Structure 1
Amino acid sequence: MTALPQYEMLTAQGLWRETPQAQRRLVLLSLGDATLVIRDNLSDRALAHWSLAALIRRNPGGKPALYTPSEEPGEELEIGDELMVEAIEKVQAVLESRRPHPGRLRRIGWGLGLVTLSIGAVFWLPGAMIDQAVRVVPIAKRTDIGRMVLMDMERSTGVACHSTEGDAALEALANRLQDISEIAVVPRGLKGARILPGGVVALGTDTLTGPDTPEVAAGAILAAQQAQAAEDPLHAALAWAGSGAALTLLTTGDLPAERMQGFGAAVLATPTAITHSEAETDALLAAFKAAGVSSTPYAYAIDPTGEAALGLIEADPFRGSPAPEPVLADDQWLALKDICS
């Protein structure tokens, strides 16, 4: 299903190349709920899934239309089918309209207050300015910054995987856990999970290919939440961007995307700190209990012998009894496992 029902069965042909040096090849295009699926014209094998919300048209108004999945040089798609081009632009407009947009009056009031605050910013230490930004930035903007970090991370991991059923399963998993706004599965370069600003989660495929149960993916997210409990992910992002970027965020409500360059790779290079100390294990077990998730599958995923995570097995809050509700339904779990296929 697409964002607009009239385009639900729409397909078209296009010319796609994976890198600037590659030869263009004929492909078959179809619209998903929030993605453009690119398939091999002969084998019908999926070659790429592009986020419609992030899709960039390189030649607005030009024919044929030229699209790329991001600002970075790489993949390019040429579409001559005017109906498909019209559908993409209309679906993009619908997706944009569904995003949270703070009210204009509220934004003006917030901006005026922050401009006043910024007058005294020259007297603050840079750390104090970052702390203030972390305190006042709205949830919607935090999530935008989280997506910005994820896009930078995708330079190293590849573009996050998408499928209609898999995306629905990720949404269900995000709704099942606390303080999670959205989850993205990246195809490589990440083990476990990382919590990004605004409750955005980057999830590694290792959580989907080990023990055949969604408790492993849920456990990885719970463990990542506990590991970063001492520092708000937004604080870490703004510390990387610098006090100048924090001031821009305070005064304009926006954070320049270029200030996040390299931060995604830094997040990837910093493993989730799990020491399995008694205090840490107790805190993690409390998180599993609050989320209604068994800790045993996650324990065996991080150590198949169970020895390194024995506390998570022996004190599993649901040991010997089922959790209140499944993490995911069976069909959702199967769709999630196949999201990068």
Structure 2
Amino acid sequence: MTALSEYQRLEATGLWSASPDAQRREVVVSLGDASLTMSDMQSRALAHWSLAAVQRMNPGELPAIYTPDGMMDEVLELDASEAEMIAAIERIRGAVERQRPRRGRLRWTLLLASALGVAALGFFWLPGALQRQALAVVPDVQRVTIGEALLNEIERVTGPPCGDPQGLAALDRLAQRLPGVDGPPRLHVMREGVRGAVHLPGGIILLSRTVVEDVEEPDVVAGYVISEQLRARAQDPLALLLRAAGPAATFRLLTTGSLPDGALDDYAETLLTRPRGRLDDATLLPGFRASGVRSTPYAYALDVTGESVLGLIEADPFRTDAPSPVLRDADWLRLQAICGG
């Protein structure tokens, strides 16, 4: 319904012409449900105008002049005495106009929607896309460089790695004994600041000196190395770094080949302080089996009672058959002395 209910069947007298050349004639103007009807004095309909198309050609002036299409081919004049009809037509025209789609409003709505879409794309998709691209194109040698740069930042907190020459030789033999997917790990024993073990990009694994000095078997150290290798396989260490560093740092890596020092400094602190749960038995046991290392010594190093690591003890892949030694006794003693006693 177009006409407002209080104006239905309102009538007035006006002057109407069917064309620019036609003589004006007096008509009865009726306001109906959705149309304006012009009739002669014998109530014969002469014209029907859709209210949605009616336009006023002289807003604010009298007599009010209306056309059905704004072209002045057909015209209706209402003088001041028909103020109620004029007010009704104007009110209905205003209501119709408010319901029309606004081209400018639609344009701004589309622009806003596009802007929000771009912003959402940038917020949700772009960081992940940058990270995936970086992980795909950064070569292994650059990963090592990034890992070493991160190690330099860590050393500001932990001090330099232990460096007894004979201990380093034994540590290298341990690394050769435990090659990962990308070759032997780069092992470092840190005097302080590292809890258990952590891994860095480039196959670098940092071991706490307590992991080396306060245990009785090299299988324990090997267990920490295997665990970190499995962590790195499940979650790329460089991906963790880039996620913490943010899109800007990732973009810089893609464009310049290096990360900002601030990003490495912040991540070094995060890496040393964040809590980490141990890997589940279903992940650990195949790693011990593949490396030829007993899981029981590592399990008791995690929990001296054995209660929380019972799966690693009972399902030890070498519970009955002894694998080849992780290190010779002499190398194990040298490794335990890597930090100088």
Q: Same fold (TM over 0.5)?
A: yes
Matches within 5 A, 1:33-44: none
Q: In the alignment, what sits opposite 2:129?
A: 128
Residue 242 of structure 1 aligns with which residue?
246
User: Is residue 253 from structure 1 mapped to residue 257 from structure 2 by the alignment?
Assistant: yes
Paired residues of 2:146 and 2:258 also in contact (CA < 8 A): no
State the TM-score, normalizing by the size of structure 1: 0.59
Q: Is the 8 A contact 1:191 1:205 kept in 2?
A: no
CA contact (8 A) 1:207 1:216 kept: yes
How many angstroms does 1:229 deviate by?
4.1
Contact 2:189 2:207 in 1 (8 A): yes
Q: How many aligned positions are there? A: 216
For 1:216 and 1:272, locate their aligned partners in 2 and report how far apart those are by CA, in whole Å. Answer: 18
SS in 2 for 1:185: strand
The farther-off stretch of 291-300 and 325-334 is 325-334
Structure 1 position 332 matched with structure 2 position 336: no
Q: Displaced runs of 4+ in structure 1, greater than 6 A? A: 121-124
Contiguous gaps of at least 5 residues in structure 1: 1-120
- 1:54-73 matched pairs, under 5 angstroms: none
**Percentage of pairs with the same residue:** 44
1:289 aligns with 2:293: no
Q: 1:113-168 CA distances to partner (integer Å, 9 max, x unpaired)?
A: xxxxxxxx999712211121011111111111111222222222222111211111
C-alpha RMSD of matched pairs (Å): 2.2
Looking at structure 1, the residues matched to 126 and 250 of structure 2 have their Cα atoms a distance apart, in angstroms, of 12
Q: Does 1:183 align with 2:219?
A: no
- Matched with 1:173 is 174
Moved more, 265-274 or 130-139: 265-274
Q: Counterparts in 2 of 1:148-167, with a 5 A limit? A: 148-167=149-168
| Per-residue CA distance 1:12-40 (angstroms, 9 max, x = gap) | xxxxxxxxxxxxxxxxxxxxxxxxxxxxx
CA distance in 1, matches of 2:225, 2:276: 10
User: For 1:46-75, what per-residue CA distance to the aligned partner results, in whole angstroms no more than 9, with x for missing partners?
Assistant: xxxxxxxxxxxxxxxxxxxxxxxxxxxxxx
Asked if structure 2 preserves the Cα contact closer than 8 Å seen for 1:285 and 1:295, the reply is yes
Q: Using the alignment, how far apart are the partners of 1:255 and 1:170 within structure 2?
A: 29
Kindly indicate whether residue 195 of structure 2 is the aligned counterpart of residue 195 of structure 1.
no
For structure 2, which runs of at least 5 residues remain unmatched after alignment?
Answer: 1-121
What is the distance in 2 between the residues matched to 1:183 and 1:232? 17
- Per the alignment, residue 141 of structure 1 pairs with 142
Work out the CA distance in 1 between the residues paired with 2:207 and 2:167.
13
The separation in 1 between residues aligned to 2:276 and 2:214, in whole angstroms, is: 18
The structure with the largest alpha-carbon Rg is: 2
- Give, in angstroms, the shift of residue 215 of structure 1: 0.8
Q: Secondary structure at the match of 1:261?
A: helix
Deviation at 1:223, TM superposition (A): 2.0
Partner letter of residue 335 of structure 1? R
SS at match of 2:320: coil
